[in-house]
């Protein structure tokens, strides 16, 4: 079978295990069904997620020019606490930013390897956690907009990481911790003005990934440096494909690459 198209992050469906799909130009590739099979990936050229041109991909699937101009890559995406849409002040495109930022957000605790704090839109649950390869997660606070969630996250960052250790996540080195107890401990760090957003809910969301074999050592495949790769797929976790011999391919990290996939 041959597939080709522009890489975008995999579409996920929560289940036991999670189901993964790659939405290519003419095809919808069911990635779970490819487990145990030999796959060849070839980088043909690039196709920026915004302008569609064959320019070097800079970040987030965009060429350098688009990365510094499109609203989808404005700095509030990475740093929610800088959001100013609630004040009617734009970074790049007020209408886009108001639609994106002025909606319910959550601050969560998730464990992909160690415990981390993060912010996302309410509608991104559970997608956000699956994309990070989290094993389990809980909601700490639910806010009215992105700014408020960002303020809470910044306060918590002094006490807990906001990064995912992808190597440990892929090796399945997952800390066992009582997230509800942690949530209770972190509650005191929420700034007083935002304390009304604390969510006294004890739900734990847990995730099971389709992995036949976890790697002992992890080696990252970078198609910009190595345009051809062939290997046997043994797992999918987060936004990664895990191959035999510990080679891992970050699908999301290759957004905007135009590839051919032969199975
Ligand atoms: Zn572009």
Give pLDDT, residue 128.
97
Provide the pLDDT for residue 258.
97
Instruction: Give the confidence band of 199 by pLDDT, cuts at 50, 70, 90.
Output: very high
Distance 255 CA to ligand 1 centre (A): 12
The CA 250 to ligand 1 mean position distance, Å, reads 21
What's the rounded mean pLDDT across residues 12-18?
A: 97
Residue 211, pLDDT score = 98
Which whole number is the average pLDDT over 89-98? 96
pLDDT at 98: 97
The residues that bridge with 250 in the sheet, in sequence order, are: 240
- With a cut of 90, say whether residue 146 has pLDDT above it: yes
pLDDT digits (tens, 9 = 90+) for 26-84: 789 999 999 999 999 999 999 999 999 999 999 999 999 999 999 999 999 999 999 99
Q: How confident is the model at residue 170 (pLDDT cuts 50, 70, 90)?
A: very high
Spacing, Cα 56 to ligand 1 middle (Å): 9
Which of 71, 119, 75 has its CA nearest to residue 99?
71
pLDDT score recorded for residue 25? 78
85-106 mean pLDDT = 96
Mean pLDDT score, 168-183? 97
Q: How far is the CA of 254 from the centre of ligand 1 (A)?
A: 14
Please state, rounded to an integer, the average pLDDT across all residues of the chain.
97
Q: How far is the CA of 72 from the centre of ligand 1 (A)?
A: 12
Model pLDDT, residue 23: 93
Find the radius of gyration of the CA atoms of the chain: 19
The CA-atom distances, in angstroms, between 127 and each of 7, 27, 122, 199, 203 are 18, 22, 10, 20, 16
Portion of the chain with pLDDT greater than 90, in percent? 97
**Cβ atoms of 143 and 208 closer than 8 Å:** no
Q: Any idea how long the chain is?
A: 263
Three-state DSSP class for residue 94: helix
What mean pLDDT is predicted for residues 4-18? 97
Domain spans of the chain?
Answer: 2-68+210-262, 74-206
How much distance in Å is there from the Cα of 46 to the middle of ligand 1?
10
* C-alpha to C-alpha distance for 195 and 141, rounded to whole angstroms: 9
Give this prediction's pTM: 0.96
Distance 91 CA to ligand 1 centre (A): 19
Cα(25) to centroid of ligand 1, in Å? 18
* CA–centroid distance, residue 66 to ligand 1 (Å): 4
* Average pLDDT of the residues in 116-127: 97
């Amino acid at each position: 079978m041959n597939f080709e198209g522009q890489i975008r992050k995999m579409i996920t469906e929560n289940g036991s295990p999670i189901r993964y799909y790659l939405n290519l130009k003419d095809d919808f590739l069911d990635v779970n069904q490819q487990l145990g099979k030999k796959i060849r990936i070839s980088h043909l050229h690039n196709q920026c997620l915004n302008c569609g041109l064959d320019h070097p991909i800079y970040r987030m699937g965009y060429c350098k020019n688009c990365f510094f101009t499109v609203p989808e890559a404005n700095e509030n995406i990475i740093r929610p606490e800088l959001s100013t849409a609630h004040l009617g002040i734009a970074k790049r495109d007020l209408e886009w930013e108001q639609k994106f930022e002025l909606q319910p957000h959550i601050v969560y605790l998730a464990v992909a390897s160690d415990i981390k704090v993060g912010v996302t839109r309410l509608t991104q649950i559970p997608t956000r956690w699956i994309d990070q390869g989290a094993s389990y997660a809980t909601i700490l606070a639910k806010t009215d907009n992105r700014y408020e969630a960002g303020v809470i996250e910044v306060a918590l960052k002094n006490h807990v990481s906001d990064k995912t250790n992808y190597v440990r996540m892929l090796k399945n080195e997952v800390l066992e911790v009582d997230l509800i107890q942690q949530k209770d401990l972190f509650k005191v760090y929420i700034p007083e003005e935002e304390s009304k957003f604390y969510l006294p809910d004890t739900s734990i969301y847990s995730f099971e990934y389709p992995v036949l074999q976890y790697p002992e050592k992890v080696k990252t495949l970078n198609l910009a440096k190595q345009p051809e790769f062939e290997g046997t797929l043994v797992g999918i976790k987060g936004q990664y494909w895990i191959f035999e011999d510990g080679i891992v391919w970050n699908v999301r990290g290759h957004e905007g690459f135009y590839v051919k996939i032969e199975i």
